[in-house]
Amino acid sequence: MGARFLRSIPLLAALSCLLLIAGCSALRLSYSQADTLLAWRANEYFDLNPLQRDDLNERLERLHAWHRYEQLPDYAAFTSAAIARARHGLKHDDLVWFIEGLKARYRVIINHGSTDAAEMLATLAPEQIDALQKQWRKVNRKFASEYDLDGSVEKRKRARLKKVLDQIQDWTGGLTYEQEQKIAALLDAIPLIEHLRHADRIRRQQEFLQLLKLRTNPREFRPKLQAWLVDWERGRAPEYQQLSVELYAKRIEFYLAVDKLLTPGQRQIALHRLQEYVDDFKALAEKPQRAGP
């Protein structure tokens, strides 16, 4: 998913990214406020007027309730199955299963929320589309800065390594110097692709602007919006498409190799964190008890 679909649009689909919230201990609080947070983020992108904000809040409340009570039980079961697979070390099929499982759950949200998204986007005024483009320029600059896209190949590799090490340490509680060096060597064999990702982000943004020209024609706009959200790989430049296929295989091999570097203690930290997600999903999915007569 990328890492965070909140950087893309529309925001009604962004509940899929709640799985990526940093810090399990904060998940229940963050998820409980998700509709408010997403409404704030949508306003940041589109500078909504009061009527639009009220309409968005109602739609997000419905989507949030559906996702909480209909989807989180499935997330708990899915994550529990992931724990069982990871307990004694990962295999190639385990990672493929997990990645495809995330994609499938993302598609469920898109299919459920795309009509609301289309109806909201249909109300956008030209100046709000200008606000969206301004916000895009901001996040595009941030992406380029995070990956040091204007720097040398070595600088770009260091930027990528820092992000990957941070992600792994976040799940393992830390890495030894020797582990970091081995991970750096493993990662160095993977081709740099962030510059192509950046160009593709901009391509997708331009596609979306063209799509918005259809927003007042629901019969045409809704299915095209849904297709644009689900099939994010369509339309990629040939070089990026080919490297993406290669990178998918290389990334799986990379994380399998990293998994073999983990100590029993580090593996236990990662499994414990996943279990906290399971517990939080189950707790959040519990419907409130009705008050007695």
pLDDT tens-digit readout, 175-222: 999 999 999 999 999 999 999 999 999 999 999 999 999 999 999 999
Residue 35 has a CB neighbour count (10 Å cut-off) of 22
Per-residue pLDDT at 31: 74
Provide the pLDDT confidence category of residue 3 given band limits of 50, 70 and 90.
very low
Question: Looking at residues 113-122, what average pLDDT do you find?
Answer: 91
The whole-number pLDDT of residue 230 equals: 87
Mean pLDDT (whole number) for 240-258: 92
Residue 84: closest CA among 73, 70, 98, 96 = 98
**Within the chain, what is the greatest distance between any pair of CA atoms?**
70
Question: CA–CA separation, 104 vs 100, rounded Å?
Answer: 6
Q: What is the pLDDT of residue 75?
A: 92
Q: Is 29 exposed, middle or buried (0-12, 13-18, 19+ CB in 10 A)?
A: exposed
- Residue 143 confidence (pLDDT) above 50: yes
- State residue 289's pLDDT score: 74
Res 227: pLDDT: 93
Q: Which of 8-17, 145-154, 228-237 has the lowest mean pLDDT?
A: 8-17
Question: Domain segments of the chain: what residues?
Answer: 5-285
Q: Note whether 71 and 104 are within 8 A (CB).
A: no
What would the two tokens of residue 8 be? Answer: 């893309």
Which of 32-46, 107-121, 161-175, 214-228 is least confident? 32-46
Give the residue from 283, 273, 230 showing the smallest Cα distance to 68.
Answer: 283
CA distance 271 to 80: 10
Helix, strand, coil share (%) of the chain residues, nearest 5: 80, 0, 20
242: helix, strand or coil: helix
Cis peptide, bond prior to residue 293, ω within 30 of zero: no
Q: What is the pTM of this model?
A: 0.84
* Both structure tokens of 103: 């994609």
User: Looking at residues 85-95, what average pLDDT do you find?
Assistant: 91
- pLDDT tens column, 282-292: 998 998 776 55
Q: Extract the tokens encoding 61.
A: 């409340």
Closest CA to 14 of 109, 152, 93: 109
Mean pLDDT of the chain: 85
Which of 23-32, 67-76, 97-106 is predicted with the least confidence, judged by mean pLDDT?
Answer: 23-32
Give percent above pLDDT 90 in the chain.
61
